[in-house]
Structure 1
Amino acid sequence: MPPIIGQDKDALLAVLAQAGLTDISQIQPLADGLSNHNYHIETPTAHYVLRENADAADSFCSREQELFYWRHLAKAKLAPELLWVSGDQRYYLSQYIFAQSLPSFPLASQFAPLMEDIEGRANLLTEKAILASGTYTLEQPEVPREPSMASGYQELSLPNLSSKELSWKELSWKDLESQCSAATFDQGETHIEAWLQSHAYIKLAADQQAWSLSERLALLDSLTPNRAHSLLLQLLQQLRVQATGPYHISITEQWQEYHGQLLAFAAADKGEAWQSRLAQLLSIQTQIYDWTATLADCLVEPQFCHRDLNPHNLLLKDNQLYCIDFEYATASHPLCELAVVLATHQLTPAQRYLLVWQYLAGHPGLTSDAIKAIPAAIEMYWVFAVYWALLMAAYTHGERQQEYFDWFDHFWPLISHAS
């Protein structure tokens, strides 16, 4: 984007002067958040981020709570340092982190159909043949016969690939943005389990030794195209041990709070487009009740949760992820953190499987059967997304309101039983 010019620049310069910055070389817009605007500020000696909060977002978060957690996480070296806050809490000035790229091993275009088939059948052998070798050239591998989701068996035939077709590339973390529904997560888990089961038969027939969970996870880890799942796990484990502070809300309480706000707006004339989307939400209240009950049943104790760890809120530097945007941070259900990562990151079924098992291992805040509640946690992540979109639409008008309607329509199909 070009640098800010004209009236907007003058207004931002006045804000920066309040923060003690006057020798400004450049003001560059960064990608907008859905509820704030961010600018890269450059001076002759340093770089900063200026964030401008949207008025509508004030109804969703306590600025005091947001700043409490931001400062706490910055002290723990898990967030950029917060340097200045305007008196009205509309503007924040923080450290600028020069994010690094994630090395990734992309699959050649010839393999796209086979990789898509992973979501429909247990064909992770393709990933194994490409990624487990650790080489840039492949000979035609001997692929075992693998049971398909239909009856019978099928042979997988892999093309010969050149080193040029199997070269590494660099991804910015935001390039991992994707959407995963609970149904897609369930499907991937089923296929991974089926593949591991078939692989176990081969191993047991060969050496008659038990196949431990650590061996299975190590095998899956060798099939991954990048280390995104490992970096996410590291961050989740670091966040898990942070102090919860004085703030807390359960998933059920969050749902009730959002729902109460919507019903208050329903009494006003928000127009047919808004009311029709409210009717859609009202049609799945029974399912929402069931999902929240499932999550309550597996909770032992809450933990600190960022609650919005989507790829745009994470920065990679020196092999570590840093968080930004703490508008929704609080103490809450441990599956909140896992659900948003699973729902918003482009991870293979193998990476999701690894992340789930390693995150849940010995987690003190969850029951031993909490894995069964992960689909409900993903459902509730998307439920909160549509609540957020409709509430933001209630606070806005014109083109901006239509933008939030579009977000509602984008998130809605990701919820099970949504029509």
Structure 2
Amino acid sequence: MSTDNGKIDLMNLAAYLQQIRQNSDIVFSENLCAFQLGSGLSNHNYLLQDGVNKWVLRVNQNASDGFVRRKDELASWQIAGNAGLAPQLRFVSSTMDCFLSDYVETQSDWSQLAHDVDGAAVDNQSICLRQRAPQLLAQLLLAMQDLPLPQNHISLSRQWQHYLTQLHHIAVKLETMASSGPPNTNQLAISIEQWQTQWQRLQRLHHDTQLKIDSCDAVSLRNQYSHRDLTPYNLLLSDEHLLCIDFEYACQSHPLFDLAVVLQTHGISSSQQAQLKALYFSKQQNLKLGAEQALPAMGALYWTYSAAWALLMAGQSLLNGDESKLLPHLAKDYLSWFENYYTQAAK
């Protein structure tokens, strides 16, 4: 983990720090300082440093896509943490609005492996990471198949239907806002129209999406522990093995999903991808023979779900008003991400 920005005023975190002081055995000295960590798409993260002691404070946002339940997230995080696959939790607030976990010192920045990192910035260190990536990723993925199953179960079909239902409700509300609400600014009216256009585009993927779900379900023998968002930004390399962070979508689900996400989001070569798949399928116990043939469909589902998520968050932002600060980004940001994700899904 690395800090994107400089030191921040502790007064901005005073309410959370007070909860930690009053409800845990952690003691902060007068030397405590805080730094903004790379911001996630739905939460805010801070490095707390007090001498040699370091923690990560995550401040959770109230708004979500309706799937995120903090109780389920914590249970999945603890399962992974107990197996040495995640940083250890040190404090959870009673309202679950903030978590405190150990800060992990990393050997290298794993996010260098992201597809969207500028190729010109690739250096010897990132080349070395790519060479080691298949073995490290396979080790993590295979360790996850042996984890206890979380109680939370999200099937491929349930996730898609959930997004369609939520998006339909938002579409109705935005239509009402546009036609009978108070006078809208030109920019808001334009944004609502953009949202409605993207909603129509997403709905046109429905038939193909259902076919992909059916083909993927046909190769699964049983559910397993699934992180469901194993992008390079949610992985840390420490002591020669990978740790996961951000368990908002972790659950028991399809045993091919995490591999598909890794292949779609990591900038590794075709030969490195082949090596990773060979390692994974040689010891995977929850898939039928020939399951590799469903990987393209599963990869497309990942981008379809990502596009639906971005559109849902954009709709919430428009309904709440960008200035409400319920979401860490503006509607235009989410709509931009939708376009990127949709392009991948529709390939």
Query: So what's the TM-score if we normalise by structure 1?
Result: 0.69
* TM-superposed deviation, 1:28: 0.5
Question: Which of 78-87 and 362-371 deviates more?
Answer: 362-371
Structure 2 CA distance, aligned partners of 1:329 and 1:309?
10
On the 8 A contact 1:16/1:22 being kept in 2, the answer is: no
* TM-superposed deviation, 1:14: 3.5
Query: So what's the TM-score if we normalise by structure 2?
Result: 0.83
- Deviating beyond 6 angstroms after TM superposition, the runs of 4 or more aligned structure 1 residues are none
Structure 1 CA distance, aligned partners of 2:141 and 2:209?
26
Structure 2 CA distance, aligned partners of 1:292 and 1:392?
23
Letter in 1 for 2:28: T
Pick aligned residue for 2:107 from 100, 105, 114: 100
Counterpart residue number, 1:227: 132
Percent of pairs identical after alignment? 35
Structure 1 CA distance, aligned partners of 2:339 and 2:209?
18
Letter in 2 for 1:415: A
Letter in 1 for 2:196: Q
On the 8 A contact 2:54/2:102 being kept in 1, the answer is: yes
- SS of the equivalent of 1:356 reads helix
Going from structure 1 to structure 2, the CA distance change for 1:225 and 1:50 (only over 3 Å counts) comes to closer
Following superposition of structure 1 onto structure 2, how do residues 129-144 of structure 1 map, counting pairs within 5 Å? Answer: none
Counterpart residue number, 1:299: 220
Counterpart residue number, 2:152: 247
- SS of the equivalent of 2:288 reads coil
Whether 1:259 and 2:164 are equivalent positions in the alignment is yes
Following superposition of structure 1 onto structure 2, how do residues 385-400 of structure 1 map, counting pairs within 5 Å? Answer: 385-396=306-317, 397-398=321-322, 400=330
Counterpart residue number, 1:183: none
Counterpart residue number, 1:164: none
- SS of the equivalent of 2:256 reads helix
Pick aligned residue for 1:345 from 253, 266, 269: 266
* TM-superposed deviation, 1:59: 2.2
* TM-superposed deviation, 1:17: 3.3
The Cα offsets for residues 236-293 of structure 1, whole Å up to 9 and x where unpaired, read as: 0101110113221211111111111111212111621211110110111111011101
Going from structure 1 to structure 2, the CA distance change for 1:83 and 1:281 (only over 3 Å counts) comes to same
Whether 1:43 and 2:59 are equivalent positions in the alignment is no
Counterpart residue number, 1:411: 341
Counterpart residue number, 1:22: 28
On the 8 A contact 2:142/2:283 being kept in 1, the answer is: no
Structure 1 CA distance, aligned partners of 2:88 and 2:173?
42
Structure 1 CA distance, aligned partners of 2:66 and 2:101?
23
Counterpart residue number, 1:318: 239
Question: Which of 341-350 and 6-15 deviates more?
Answer: 6-15
Pick aligned residue for 1:277 from 195, 198, 202: 198
On the 8 A contact 2:220/2:286 being kept in 1, the answer is: yes
On the 8 A contact 1:224/1:351 being kept in 2, the answer is: no
Superposed CA RMSD: 2.0
Counterpart residue number, 1:370: 291
Going from structure 1 to structure 2, the CA distance change for 1:224 and 1:83 (only over 3 Å counts) comes to closer
* TM-superposed deviation, 1:22: 3.2
Letter in 2 for 1:405: L
Going from structure 1 to structure 2, the CA distance change for 1:290 and 1:4 (only over 3 Å counts) comes to same
Counterpart residue number, 1:335: 256
* TM-superposed deviation, 1:44: 2.3
The Cα offsets for residues 110-133 of structure 1, whole Å up to 9 and x where unpaired, read as: xxxxxxxxxxxxxxxxxxxxxxxx
Letter in 2 for 1:268: K
* TM-superposed deviation, 1:29: 0.5
Going from structure 1 to structure 2, the CA distance change for 1:179 and 1:332 (only over 3 Å counts) comes to farther
The Cα offsets for residues 139-184 of structure 1, whole Å up to 9 and x where unpaired, read as: xxxxxxxxxxxxxxxxxxxxxxxxxxxxxxxxx211111169xxxx
Which protein is bigger by CA-based radius of gyration?
Answer: 1
Going from structure 1 to structure 2, the CA distance change for 1:225 and 1:235 (only over 3 Å counts) comes to closer
Structure 2 CA distance, aligned partners of 1:243 and 1:225?
30
Letter in 2 for 1:245: P
Counterpart residue number, 1:31: 38
Counterpart residue number, 2:114: 177
* TM-superposed deviation, 1:25: 2.2
- SS of the equivalent of 2:44 reads strand
Counterpart residue number, 2:8: 4
- SS of the equivalent of 1:267 reads helix
- SS of the equivalent of 1:47 reads strand
Structure with the larger RCO, 1 or 2 (CA within 8 Å, 6+ apart) = 2
Letter in 2 for 1:252: S
The Cα offsets for residues 64-90 of structure 1, whole Å up to 9 and x where unpaired, read as: 110001111111111110011111101
Question: Which of 5-14 and 83-92 deviates more?
Answer: 5-14
Structure 1 CA distance, aligned partners of 2:102 and 2:270?
35
Structure 2 CA distance, aligned partners of 1:291 and 1:3?
47
On the 8 A contact 1:52/1:91 being kept in 2, the answer is: yes
On the 8 A contact 1:224/1:348 being kept in 2, the answer is: no
* TM-superposed deviation, 1:10: 3.9
